[in-house]
């Protein structure tokens, strides 16, 4: 099989490339990535010989030529602007990349008759749920995005379904819970806390410390995508979650515990606008129909992740100056944070 992995130099994409190369050594993988601040060739260390197209997914001619010349069978689409805080500061960029970029890929995939277009999406398209809500989101829950990031991902999901319905493009979609693990940019909660803790610097935590997320190790996410690519039903959506929830503060405590650092490093900062309370997915369909189950318990996964950041300073230290948002600065009415 010949795969095009968009966003393959990002956090989940690079973990997926690593996973696929290990499990399917005879397949040909092409990475397509614009190398924004979040993309990093160093995340693909050991894969220097890989076919790498350094280009924007909004560039139709390059996408079209790549699909044709590389004779791509399957597109696995991770590329996106992915940081909610950044979306609050530069929403237009998110709609451009996540909606127009996805539609550009879909159009090229249609013209080149790819056998499968797999789209990576998020739990956040369903909006927030109350802390005491009894029922998790299901595949057919209504879309109620509340932030420019989640709205742009929702727009992308709709574009994918429109290409399936209108043009018969063979698509699948996965909507996943919050990921953590190696190669995550040190702007997202676990990577931010791990790198701060290792440097004995304060961990900036939003004041709604009790807001909950469902946490999944990135390798379990990669296995879920693999299951859908190999066994998933064309046209279907699968929710990918661990069922394991933890609050922002509980996650910070797990990281501090793993790093052997004191609770006094926790520093409360003002919430960013539109900070969702909670997301939780019902992943029963993926589990029962495709036999997937998460394998890495949260405490162990966090301990391994903190250890990975401890052992890989040369990977993340150069990224600190690229971080686009200062999470301390929401107190200035949203005008203070930096965006590069
Ligand atoms: N991180 C999570 O917890 C999570 C959870 C659910 C779903 N997702 C989704 O998974 C996907 C990957 O997320 P991630 O955390 O790895 O993101 P990331 O920000 O780490 O990586 C994104 C990658 O996309 C590339 N990219 C950005 N704009 C591009 C463009 N215009 N053209 C080509 N490449 C471009 C970047 O260079 C980077 O390599 C995203 O679609 C995201 O919405 C993420």
Measured from the CB, is residue 13 less than 6 Å from ligand 1?
yes
End-to-end alpha carbon distance in the chain:
38
pLDDT digits (tens, 9 = 90+) for 227-261: 999 999 999 999 999 999 999 999 999 999 999 99
CA of 254 to the centre of ligand 1 (A): 25
Q: Provide Rg for the chain, Cα atoms.
A: 19
Residue nearest ligand 1's atom 44 by CA: 122
Residue percentage of the chain with pLDDT more than 90: 90
Residue range of the domain that includes 228? 2-184+215-243+279-296
At 123-140, the pLDDT tens digits run 999 999 999 999 999 999
Structural domain total, the chain: 1
Q: Is the CB of 122 under 6 A from ligand 1?
A: yes
Domain assignment present for residue 309? The answer is no
What average pLDDT score do residues 175-203 get?
97
State how beta strands 171-176 and 237-240 pair: parallel
Model confidence at 324: pLDDT above 80: no
In a domain, 40, yes or no: yes
pLDDT at 326: 75
Closest CA to 5 of 76, 105, 83: 76
Separation of CA 81 and ligand 1 centre (Å): 6
Mean pLDDT of the chain: 95
Q: Which two tokens stand for residue 21?
A: 């190369």
Position 283 in a domain: yes
**Which residue, among 171, 154, 168, 290, has the nearest Cα to 236 in the 3D structure?**
171
- 164 inside domain: yes
H helix or E strand, kind and range, residue 293: none
The reply to whether ligand 1 has any atom less than 6 angstroms from the CB of 33 is yes
Q: Confirm whether 259 is domain-assigned.
A: no
CB 272 within 8 A of CB 206: yes
Report CA(83)–ligand 1 centroid distance (Å): 9
CATH of the domain at 167: 3.40.50.720
In this prediction, residue 48 carries a pLDDT of 80
pTM (2 d.p.):
0.96
32, 61, 78, 101: residue to mutate for ligand 1 pocket, most atoms within 8 A of CB? 78
| Position 47 pLDDT exceeds 60 | yes
The yes-or-no verdict on residue 327 having pLDDT over 80 is no
| H helix runs in the chain, sequence order | 11-23, 60-69, 84-89, 91-95, 102-111, 148-167, 189-198, 218-231, 248-259, 284-290, 298-311, 313-316
- Is residue 69 in a domain? yes
Average pLDDT over residues 314-336: 76
Residue 241 near ligand 1, beta carbon < 6 Å: no
pLDDT at 45: 94
For ligand 1, whether the C-beta of 93 sits within 6 Å is no
Give CA–CA dist 64/237, Å, rounded: 25
Closest ligand 1 atom to Cα of 123 = 6
Quick count: other Cβ atoms within 10 Å of Cβ 333?
A: 9
Q: Using CA positions, which residue lies closest to atom 1 of ligand 1?
A: 179
**Band of pLDDT at residue 323, cut at 50, 70 and 90:** confident
**Cα angle, residue 103 at apex, residues 87 and 272 outer, rounded to 5°:** 10
Residue 97 in contact with ligand 1 by CB distance below 6 A = yes
128 Cβ contact partners less than 8 Å away, ≥ 6 residues apart: 146, 276, 277, 278, 279
Tell whether the model's pLDDT for residue 225 goes beyond 70.
yes
Q: ∠ at Cα 230 (46, 169), nearest 5°?
A: 105
- The reply to whether 291 falls in a domain is yes
State the pLDDT confidence band at 102, using cuts at 50, 70 and 90: very high
Q: Which pLDDT tens digit goes with each residue over 266-308? A: 999 988 888 889 999 999 999 999 999 999 999 999 999 999 9
Instruction: Tell me, yes or no, whether 334 lies in a domain.
Output: no
Do residues 77 and 120 make contact, with C-beta atoms less than 8 angstroms apart?
yes
DSSP reduced 3-state for 176:
strand
* φ and ψ at residue 336, rounded to 5 degrees: -80, -40
- What does the block give as tokens for 302? 């966090």
Name the residue at shortest CA distance from atom 36 of ligand 1: 39
């Amino acid at each position: 099989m010949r795969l095009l992995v968009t966003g393959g130099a990002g956090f989940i994409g690079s973990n997926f490339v690593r996973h696929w190369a290990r499990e399917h050594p005879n397949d040909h993988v092409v990475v397509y990535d614009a190398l924004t601040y979040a993309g990093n060739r160093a995340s693909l260390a050991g894969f220097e010989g890989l076919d790498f197209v350094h280009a924007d997914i909004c560039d139709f001619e390059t996408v079209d030529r790549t699909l044709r010349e590389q004779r791509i069978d399957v597109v696995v689409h991770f590329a996106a602007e992915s940081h909610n805080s950044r979306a609050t500061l530069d929403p237009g960029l998110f709609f451009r990349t996540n909606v127009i970029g996805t539609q550009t890929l879909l159009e090229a995939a249609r013209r080149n008759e790819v056998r499968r277009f797999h789209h990576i999406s998020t739990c956040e398209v369903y909006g927030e749920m109350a802390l005491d809500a009894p029922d998790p989101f299901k595949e057919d829950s209504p879309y109620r995005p509340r932030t420019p990031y989640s709205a742009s991902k929702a727009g992308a999901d709709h574009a994918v379904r429109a290409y399936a319905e209108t043009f018969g493009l063979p698509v699948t979609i996965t909507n996943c819970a919050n990921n953590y693990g190696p190669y995550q940019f040190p702007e997202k909660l676990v990577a931010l806390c791990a790198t701060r803790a290792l440097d004995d610097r304060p961990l900036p935590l939003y004041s709604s410390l009790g807001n909950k997320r469902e946490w999944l190790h990135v390798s379990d996410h990669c296995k879920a995508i693999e299951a859908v690519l190999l066994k998933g039903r064309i046209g279907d959506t699968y929710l990918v979650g661990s069922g394991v929830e933890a609050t922002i503060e509980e996650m910070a405590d797990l990281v501090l515990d793993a790093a052997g650092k004191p609770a006094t490093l926790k520093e409360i900062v003002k919430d960013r606008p539109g900070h969702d309370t909670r997301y939780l997915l019902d992943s029963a369909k993926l589990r029962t129909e495709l036999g997937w189950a998460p394998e890495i318990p949260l405490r162990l996964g966090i301990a391994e992740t903190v250890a990975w950041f401890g052992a890989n300073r040369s990977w993340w230290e150069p990224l600190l100056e690229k971080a686009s948002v200062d999470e301390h600065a929401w107190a200035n009415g949203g005008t203070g944070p930096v965006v590069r």
